[in-house]
Amino acid sequence: MLVLGIETSCDDTATALVRDGRRVLSNVSTNQDEFHAKFGGIVPEIASRQHVALLSAAVQDALERAGTGLEDVDGIAVSVGPGLIGSLVVGVASAKALALAGGKPLYAINHLHGHIFAAFLETGIEPEYPLLALLVSGGHTQLVSLAGPTRLRILGRTRDDAAGEAFDKTARLLGLPFPGGPEIDRLASRGNPAAFAFPRHRPEGDALDMSFSGLKTSVKYFLETPAGAAANRADVAASFQAAVVDVLVDRLERAASRDQYRAVVLSGGVAANTALAQAFMAWAQRRGLPGLVPQRRFCTDNAAMIAAAADRQREAVRADPRTLSADPNLPFELPAAALA
């Protein structure tokens, strides 16, 4: 099946053509960072307007790069949520129009499911269930169990900041530009992760929840002390990063010791983090589980992952192109009716 994927949930205007949920024929992304960087974060109105300006050309570009036309496409997949409403509606409107005009099936994809299936792009590996997935992005951080491609359940989530948000906020404290995750990654590679002992907060209780706002605050207070002001920034970045990695690996370990899994995936924008990806793979190996991290270009928001999800979720996510609407607060689990 050849799927055209469209992703506009946040600030990337992305399109892709993917065959059989794994071969990426084209993957186009117009990053808007330059428009948002001066505000230190994403400005929803700017993102929405940029999507309107860029999306038609991005669809055309993806088709041309794949050497194909709309007539050869078997389905159109679009992120319907969660995300910024003004951004989501642009992709959804365009996908609906293309599906109606071309008489193609339309697939309404949860952006977060896309992140999980990104791990299988260009690998030749198919997901094995039950699958454990740790999703770490700018807006979400959650541990997920998949009994099948459409049967997803949240085991634990962050109670405050998402992991990516913690990276971005800590980067700002360190005077680094937005988005801060890659900046901390780079700076930390020259620092000592054991230089400072920042807290590893693990909320009590049965749920495998996480919390990162206390960590960010403790970096903030530390930087305000004389020792902090004089500290090597690379050491601070590496020590902060090590605390995030420890908490995430701890949650994975707890989940894997409670239930049996056949594979484990790390995904979302923060999966691009060098130290986290290394610690994750080392942990999976210790556990004897096949571990998978998407290629870097598929970690952050992209449209190939949306097509990859559509190919595996098929009828459960089939939508009516006349009535589909974006949902900025889309629930993570598919409704029971869709699984019947």
Contact footprint for Zn ion (CB under 5 A): 137, 301
Q: Which does 86 bind (CB under 5 to 8 A by kind): Zn ion, ligand KG4, none?
A: none
Q: How far is the CB of 70 from ligand KG4 (least distance, A)?
A: 27
Q: Which does 7 bind (CB under 5 to 8 A by kind): Zn ion, ligand KG4, none?
A: none
Q: Which does 11 bind (CB under 5 to 8 A by kind): ligand KG4, Zn ion, none?
A: none
Q: How far is the CB of 47 from ligand KG4 (least distance, A)?
A: 12
CB neighbour list of residue 130: distance below 8 Å, 6 or more residues apart: 145, 146, 147, 259, 260, 261, 262
Closer CB to ligand KG4, residue 3 or residue 248?
A: 248
Torsion of CA 116, 293, 24, 310, to 10 degrees: -10
How many helices (H) and strands (E) the chain has is answered by 13, 11
Closer CB to Zn ion, residue 33 or residue 320?
A: 33
Q: How far is the CB of 159 from ligand KG4 (least distance, A)?
A: 17
Amino acid at 105: P
Distances (CA, A) of 258 to 81, 127, 208: 30, 20, 11
CA dist 288 and 283 (Å) reads 9
Q: Which residues bind ligand KG4 (CB under 6 A)?
A: 10, 137-139, 164, 167-168, 179-182, 185, 268-270, 272-273, 300-301
CB neighbour list of residue 337: distance below 8 Å, 6 or more residues apart: none
Q: Which does 191 bind (CB under 5 to 8 A by kind): Zn ion, ligand KG4, none?
A: none
Q: How far is the CB of 28 from ligand KG4 (least distance, A)?
A: 15
Q: How far is the CB of 309 from Zn ion (least distance, A)?
A: 12
Closer CB to ligand KG4, residue 75 or residue 179?
A: 179
CB neighbour list of residue 266: distance below 8 Å, 6 or more residues apart: 119, 133, 134, 136, 276, 277, 280, 291, 292, 293
Return the residue matching tokens 């900046």: 183
Q: Which does 164 bind (CB under 5 to 8 A by kind): Zn ion, ligand KG4, none?
A: ligand KG4
Q: How far is the CB of 196 from ligand KG4 (least distance, A)?
A: 18
